[in-house]
Amino acid sequence: MLITCPYCGPRDVIEFTYQGDGNRERPQPVSQDLDAWNAYVYDRLNPAGDHNEIWQHSGGCRAHLRVVRNTVTHEILSTAFARGGHKSAGHRTEGKP
């Protein structure tokens, strides 16, 4: 599997570290909303298809990336720097497991 780092170009997946689901939204640190915290920590959509993910190019430029990966085919559909605040384009079906 190759992931195209926006800085380094196409690199083998062995250079990257998976940093988790890119759909999660962290509640404000002062938030007392236990449901929101519970959702942030535990709820995952686990789709069979396109999935927003955060990866780090830990064996290269060390940038954090927003990656859309198809969990069935492992095709990488897009990559972008996470720092830009860019929301990637994976499909999310709200509320459905």
Partner 1 sequence: MVERQSPLEPAYHPGSHGNFEHGVDVILSETRPGSILQLAAWPGEEKRLIDAIRKVTGLALPDGAGGGVSNGGRAAFGFAPGKFTVVDEAEGLASAFAGVITPDIGTVTDLSHGRTAIRIAGPKAEWVMAKFFAIDFALPAFPLGAGRSTNHHDVFAQIQRSGADQFDIYVFRSFARSFWKALCHASEEVGYEVH
Q: Which residues of 32-43 are buried (b: 16+ CB within 10 A; e: fewer)?
A: eeeeeeeeeeee
Q: How many helices (H) and strands (E) does the chain have?
A: 1, 6
Rule CB under 8 A: say whether 18 interacts with partner 1: no
Asked if residue 15 lies in contact with residue 57, where contact means CB atoms within 8 angstroms, the answer is yes
Nearer to partner 1 by Cβ, of 23 and 79: the residue is 79
Contact flags string 48-87 toward partner 1, x per CB under 8 A: -----------xxxxx-----------------x-x----
Which CB, 63 or 77, lies closer to partner 1?
A: 63
- Say which residue the tokens 């720092």 belong to: 83
Summarize as ranges the residues that interact with partner 1 (CB under 8 A).
6-9, 11-12, 14-15, 59-63, 81, 83
